[in-house]
Chain A
Amino acid sequence: MQSPGVPTPSTPEPRESTAEAPPKQVAQAMDRLAQAGRLIADIRLGADRLLEALFVAAQSHQSTKPLHLILKEEASMRHHLQHLRTIGRQLEESGVLNESLRSRSNSWGLHMPLVCPDGAVVAYAWKRQLAGQAGASAVDRTRDKDDIARSSSEWVCGTSWSYNLRLALKAFTDQKRRFFPHLDDGQGLESVSKKHCGIQTSTLSQQEELSNLRTVSDILQYMDKEVPNVKISTYQRLQWFKQASSLASSSNETFIESSKEQSFHSTTKLRQEFEGDVAADKIAVIELLLPSVFRAVISLHPAGSIDPDAVAFFSPDEGGSYVHPRGFSVYHVFRHITVRAFATRAYKSLNMLQWLYSTLLVAKLKRLYILCWYYLLLLILKCFSISEIAFDNLFMLSIVALDLQLSNPIRKTLQVEFFTFDVPSFRYVMLHLFCSKCRRLLSMDKQSALLLPPVQRPYRDIFLSSTQSNKQTSLSNDQSMDAIPAYHVGCFLEEA
């Protein structure tokens, strides 16, 4: 119904109801939601205009008109986003977006409309009330309906993420064909060599090493070396589903019987059963198990290539048919991480982009495209100082668009980066790493009313300086934990 992601900033906890009559509150909430929807549409249009301006800029080098266009668009986008921010704050204060307020709602028996993370609005209860069907039985009936609606909307939210992203991908593919038709094959950057001018030497060797990894077995060996704590297993696609169901049964065993040795044997037995059969070109699912911390399932598409398609994180105790690369964990923290993982993939593209930028020698036409994209992304990043979902959405969309532009060798390098992305640092983030601002592990995430650990956001450094190269996450040193900045959503927004 609405476009994905109604963003909300961090605000003080919603207070009890105001003195206004309930129908007015509800009508106001619906009104604000509609406004938010319109603003989001405006922002999308603005992004389109930016694209167009860049295209024009690439065509004609002389005029400064596109520059003016870009600046004007930036100003209007910023304005729209500020407006969205205030609306979001108002919505949150009225309790529309926070589910916990609903459970102890005392707004005269009315239930406020609920906005789900994917933008769908559940508004059964208030409609019936406004129709004048007051009475205890009516409220009870609507409460039941709300429960059904809530559970169905949660299901929708779960499946809508990947669906939304696919829609976005399709939209940008169309845009690309419209604006950049001659970049279809990506013959653009054949001459991008591995000259690394201007990059610190520590990151230099790592990136060189990373770009040397071309096949899945290379990558797996590299990971084995870098993060020996993680157990890596590979499967064909159907094998994984069998494995997932057997995970469910093994997690139900009583723990008295399974000593450490026993469980080790059983997992190796399972691995041997499957691993021997999987040739490198048939690998479709990779499982990364960091014992007692998480289980990550990555899907490759097509099988055997190094194009990751989806990733999902689960608790090591979870099992069952919903444990697959497009599934979502039952636990909030793992769901959170799954979403972040996708954003991180996008971030890695930006990393590589910075590297590319610093290696470009002469601004040839094709390379100018890359430069323009880089600046566009910087602009977008600067505009988005609001909230996670909005940021991630648009950021992801732009990076996805970017991904399509680049030539194949570059894309391969980008995706190799994804594999080595953050396995050990996720361990740190989850359990050891403190928020660099408040020095604590857990913090109340105002938006979802959950207690969540901080998230590592290396792309924040891009805000600070575009010339300084990114702080690469050092993969396995304990003493570098402090060097990895991580922030809670609330703490991060206050800093920005």
Chain B
Amino acid sequence: MPVKWVLHWQPNAGTTVNTQIIAEVCQCVEGINAVKDGRWKVNLSFYRPVLKEHANAAEYPREFLGVALPEQPNKYYFVVRQHRLVLEADLAIQTIMEKLQSYKTRVAIIFEGFQYQLGDFRLRVGKVVPVHSENLRGIIMEIEYLPISSWEKSHRIMGDFHDILQEALSKRSAPGQFVHLEPPLADFALSDQYTSQHTCVQYANVMLQLIATVQATQPARN
């Protein structure tokens, strides 16, 4: 599987994300000769256990993420950060959970946007919105390098591409930058060979950041 980096937008101090920035990023990406390919969408949900008897509360994870990725249409992934687990399940697990009333969706988030192709690289630029709402929470970018599937070996190439993007963006004086956080792959016992589980861990990481950013700006707004 090709290696992928998930980056999120970090606005400069004092600015917030808005749709204008997404349009600028898209223009910038097209400026480096990327060709628009189509659309993409990732669904992410936070699950909470529905506890019938409160005595068992400690047995269940307090909260975990469920991720549906476009490249694996038949699978559904779970990231349990508390226990450092990434699970792969069939897409039907969602209906099963609903029927059993065992876990409930607390928050559901959608990442969606456009996909670009630039030679051996595949880029995805998208917005982060809660489902049933148009409130923009963040901007996300995925960089995928198709020929290589080793996380270690592709590190420098990805870093270089990231730098090129940064340069292009700063030329347009964008009010922020895309940040890549090193996902804790070793914690989740993931190997060097890239898989969809790696993507899920990256998304979980990004969600943490986004939540932290939103919480940080909220008191200022209120």
Q: Would you list 28 pairs from A and B whose C-beta atoms are within 8 A, ordered by A residue?
A: A100-B35, A255-B1, A255-B193, A255-B195, A259-B191, A260-B191, A292-B149, A292-B150, A292-B192, A293-B148, A315-B146, A315-B147, A315-B148, A317-B2, A317-B149, A330-B146, A333-B119, A334-B147, A431-B157, A432-B156, A441-B156, A449-B119, A450-B120, A451-B120, A451-B121, A451-B161, A451-B164, A453-B157
Q: Which residues of A contact B (CB under 8 A)?
A: 13, 98, 100, 103-104, 255-256, 259-260, 291-293, 315-317, 329-334, 431-432, 440-442, 444, 448-453
Whether B153 sits at the interface, judged by CB under 8 Å, is yes
How many angstroms from the CA of A321 to the CA of B185 in the assembled complex?
A: 35
Q: Residue-by-residue, is B117-157 near A (CB-CB < 8 Å gives 1, otherwise 0)?
A: 01111000000000000000000000000111110011011
Contact B147 A442 (CB under 8 A): no
> Which of A259, A293, A452 has the most C-beta atoms of chain B within 10 angstroms of its own C-beta?
A293
What's the minimum C-beta distance from A298 to chain B, rounded to whole angstroms? Answer: 19
How many angstroms from the CA of A334 to the CA of B147 in the assembled complex?
A: 8
Q: Which residues of B contact A (CB under 8 A)?
A: 1-2, 30, 32-36, 88, 118-121, 146-150, 153-154, 156-157, 160-161, 163-164, 191-193, 195, 197
A331-B146 contact, Cβ under 8 Å, with A255-B1, A451-B121: yes
List the B side residues contacting A291 at CB < 8 Å. Answer: 150
List the B side residues contacting A451 at CB < 8 Å. Answer: 118-121, 161, 164
List the A side residues contacting B146 at CB < 8 Å. Answer: 315, 330-331
List the A side residues contacting B149 at CB < 8 Å. Answer: 292, 316-317
> Which of B154, B156, B163, B195 has the most C-beta atoms of chain A within 10 angstroms of its own C-beta?
B156
Question: In the complex, which of the residues B34, B163, B197 contacts A440, with contact meaning CB atoms closer than 8 Å?
Answer: B163
What's the minimum C-beta distance from B201 to chain A, rounded to whole angstroms? Answer: 14
Contact A450 B118 (CB under 8 A): yes
Contact A333 B120 (CB under 8 A): yes
How many angstroms from the CA of A331 to the CA of B147 in the assembled complex?
A: 6
Contact A444 B33 (CB under 8 A): yes
List the A side residues contacting B88 at CB < 8 Å. Answer: 256
How many angstroms from the CA of A65 to the CA of B187 in the assembled complex?
A: 77
How many angstroms from the CA of A330 to the CA of B117 in the assembled complex?
A: 13
What's the minimum C-beta distance from A93 to chain B, rounded to whole angstroms? Answer: 15
Contact A441 B160 (CB under 8 A): yes
Contact B147 A444 (CB under 8 A): no
Q: Can you name the residue of chain A whose Cβ is closest to the Cβ of B195?
A: A255
